[in-house]
Structure 1
Amino acid sequence: MSADVVDTYELRERVAAFLAEHDPATTDRLEFLRARFDAGLAWVHYPVGLGGLGLPREAQPVVDAAFAEAGAPDNDPRRNGIGLGMAAPTILAVGTEEQKRRFLRPLWTGEEIWCQLFSEPGAGSDLAALATRAVRDGDDWVVNGQKVWTSSAHNARWAILLARTDPDVPKHRGITYFVCDMTAPGVEVRPLRQITGEAEFNEVFLTDVRIPDSHRLGEVGAGWRVAQTTLMNERVAIGGNAAPRESGMLGRVVETWRNRPELRTPELHERLLRLWVEQEAFRLAGVRLRQQLAAGAPGPEGSAMKLAFARLSQALSGLELELLGEEGLRYDDWSLRRPERVDFTGREAGYRYLRAKGNSIEGGTSEILRNIIAERVLGLPADPRVDKDVAWKDLPR
C-alpha cells in the first residue's frame, strides 16, 4: 500500500484479515489491542513498527470504522487523552528509538495512563516562567517543585514534565523536557476539588524525584521548543476532533428543544439557530484542520479551534440551562469523585454548565490563545516583552 495514496478497499481487507485471526468476541481485550498495535492498525499514520503503516492521516477513520462495525474493543481514548493527544506525538517527534519502543505501545493500548506536569501556581499563563528545578546528578536529574491543574495524575503511570535546568539564561532557554515516573519516590498527588464537586484535577508535589537522563525528551535546554509540539497537538486534540453534525453539547441542547416545545421562546429559538450555525462552521473548520494535519504538523490553527470550542461549549451549556429553567439547576452528585474521564454528554445539564467553565482555561487560556492568533495568524504586533533577554533568576516573582 502506497504511503501517498490510501486504498480504502485494501485497508479494509487488511482489517478483515486481522479480525479473522483475532475474533473480538473471543479474544481478551488487552491481547486484542496489543495485536492491533503490532499489526500497524493502531494509528496508521505512525511508522511501521510503532503501531502504524506510514499512511496518510485520512486512513485512520477508515480503519476505526471497520473495527467499530465488527464490534471490536477500542482503547477508550477519553481515558488517556493526554497520552494519545499530547505525549505520543511528542515522543514520536523528538524521542529516541528506545523511548518510542518503550512508551508508545502501552500508551496506545491504555495499559499506561499519562498526565501533564506543565502548569505551576507561580507561573499562571506564563508557562515559560516555571520554577520547578531539575539538577543533574550523574546519570540522573533530581527534580523539586510543584505542579497544578494536573488532569488524571491520580491514575497516571507516566507524566510529561517541564523543569528548569538553567536559571542563568532567559526563561524560554533554560527549560528541559522529561518523562517522569508518577510512582517514583517523592511524587505526591493531591486532589483539587472543582466547582462540579469532583476532583478531576490535582496538584502534584515533586520532592527530590530522580529521573534518569534516558527519560529526557530532546536536548538539555530545548524543552520550550519540544513543549510547542505538545501544546499544538493538545489544542488540536481538544478543539479539532472529528464529530458528526449535531453531536456533543449541541446534540443535547437540540434534543431538549425538540422534546420540550413548552420551553421555547422566540429569543431562545434565535439563539439556538445562531449557535447551530456557529457549531456547524466550527465542525467544518475542524475537517479542514485535519486535512492540513495530513500534510504536516499542527500550527496556530489548532489554537483557533480550541478557542472556538471553549466559547461554544460555554454558550451551548448556558442555553441548555435557560431552556430547562428550574430543572436545569438540578445536579445530583456533589460527591468528591475521582473520575477517569470527562463525560460532557452523559451527565446532567447542571454538570455540563459548570464543567464547561474550565474549557477556557485548560489547554491554554483563551486570553493566551487570542494572543497566538493575533500574532501568528493575523500578523499583528506582538505584546512588549521586557523579560525576553533577562536571566530567569533575575526576574521578579
Structure 2
Amino acid sequence: MTPVSSHSRPAIPATVWMLGIVSLLMDVSSEMINALLPLYLAGGLGASALVIGFIEGLSVAIATATKFFSGVLADLSRRAKPLAVLGYGLGALSRLIFPWAISLDQIVLAKAMDRVGKGIRGTPRDAIIAAVSPPAIRGASFGLRKSLDTLGGFIGPLVAVAAMLALAGNIQLVFWLAAIPAALCMAVLIFFVREPAGTPVKKKTSFRLSEVFTLNRSVWSVIGLAALIMLARFSEAFVLLKGLEAGISPAWVPLSLVIMHAAYGLSAYPVGRMSDQIGTRGLLLWGLSFLIAAHLTLAFASSVWLYVLGTVFWGLHMGFSQGLLGAMIAGATPEYLRGSAFGSFNLVTGLVVLGGNTAAGFLWHSFGSHAPFIAGAVLSLMAMVVIATRGQGHTN
C-alpha cells in the first residue's frame, strides 16, 4: 500500500473533533466524581472499606454485563447517534444523583446508571468516527479521540482539587460542579456532532454462550491469567483512601490520580509498540513487577513521598499491562470464535473484579489498610510465576 503524503492527507473531520470534545468533557465530569467518591463514602456516609470495595466491584460487573446488551442494541439500531445520545445521556443524568445522595443505595443507583451509559456509548461513537474518517486518516481520528479522552482524565482530578480548595472541602458542591461538563458534553453531542446519513452502527461479533465450550485450552489459560491479574489489581478507590493515611489532605488526594494517569499515559504507547516487536510475555512480567512494587510501597507508605512513589508504580503497571491481555486473547483464538472469547474474557474478569474488590475491602476492614496491598503483592507474584512457567519464549 502506497503511503499517503502528509501534504495530501485530508484534515481530521470536525465531527471527530466534536466527539473528542464530548469524550473529554464526560471524562472531566467522571474523574471529578471518581476522585472524591471514596472519600465521600468513607467520611460523609460512614461506609466501610468492605462496602466501598463492593460498590466499586459492582460497578465494573454492571459495565461488563452492559457490553453484552449494547451489542444487541447495536444490532437493532439503524442509526448511531441516538444510541450515543442514550449512552452519554445516562452518564449525564447520573451526575444529578450524586450530589443528592444521602444513602449507599442512591450511590449504587448513580454508579450503575453511569456504568450502563458507558457500556452503551462506545460502539456508536466509534461507528460515527469510522464513517466520517477517510481510510488514510482513520488511525489519526481514533487516536485524536483517545488523546482528548485521556486529557479529560488529567483535567478532572485537577478541577476537583481546585474546587475542593475553593469550596472549603465541600464534596457535595464539587459533585454539583461535575454536572456542568456533563451538560456541556450533551450539548456538543446533540447540536454539533453530525452523523452521515444512512450510517448504521457497526455490527460486532456477538457473544454466544454455547461457543464457550469450544474455546481451546490456550484461550482459557489466558482468561485464567487475566483473572489472577485482575484479582491482584483492585480498584484505585483503595489507593485514594490510602492517601488519607499517608497524611494527604482530602482536598489534595485527587492529585494522585493525575500522577497515576501521567505514568500510565507516558508508558502505554511505547509499551504497545514494543509488544508488536517482542511479544507480551516480558512486558507483562515487567508490569507485574511494577504492581508488586506499588502494593508493597503503598502497604507501608507512612509519608506523602512514599505514597506518590506507590502511585507512580501503579500507573506504570497500567501502562505495561492494559491491552496486552486482549492481544493475547486475539492471538490464541480463531477469528470466528473471537466474539465468544472476548465475551468470556469480559464475563470472567468482571466477576473476578467484583469478588476481588469485595475481598480487598474485607481485608482492609478486618486487618488494616496494609492487608489488601500485601495480598495483592502475593497474587501478583503468583501471576508472575504462572507467566514464567508457561513455557513460551515469545508470547504474542
Q: Which has the higher strand share?
A: 1
Q: TM-score range by the shorter chain?
A: under 0.3
Choose 1 or 2 for highest CA Rg: 1
Say which structure, 1 or 2, has more relative contact order (CA 8 Å, 6+ apart): 2
Q: Which has the higher helix share?
A: 2
